[in-house]
Amino acid sequence: MKPNVKKAFSLLKAEGCPVREYNAIHDNDRGYFWIDAEDENAGLWLDYYNTNLFFGSDRLNEILEEHGLYWEWYNSAYGCVYDA
């Protein structure tokens, strides 16, 4: 991972965000890492079916923006993180 991506991933993980690394080499279509929307703690960070969290929590977006990243839904089960 690039340094800014690693920092964002580590900070999110430390704060309890359900971030996940890919186990295999992947293409850029799925970003650097993903956020598991099906994890029991995901509702604090993002929720596909909740209009208040559909675009992610303020804290999620703040951390990603500080590190030059953003996220978007890949499907209702997870969001992928990309360069801004």
C-alpha 79/C-alpha 8 separation (Å) is 15
Which two tokens mark 33? 């890492």
Q: Which pLDDT belongs to residue 29?
A: 72
Residue 70 has pLDDT above 80, yes or no: yes
In the chain, the percentage of residues whose pLDDT exceeds 90 is 86
Q: What is the DSSP letter of 32?
A: S
Cα dihedral value 30, 34, 38, 39, nearest 10:
160
Residue type at 52? N
pLDDT band at 27 (very low <50, low <70, confident <90, very high): low
> Strands, E, within the chain: which ranges?
19-20, 34-36, 69-75, 78-83
- Average pLDDT of span 5-20: 97
Average pLDDT score over the chain: 93
pLDDT category, 24, cuts 50, 70, 90?
Answer: low
- Nearest in space to 19 (alpha carbons), one of 31, 27, 3: 31
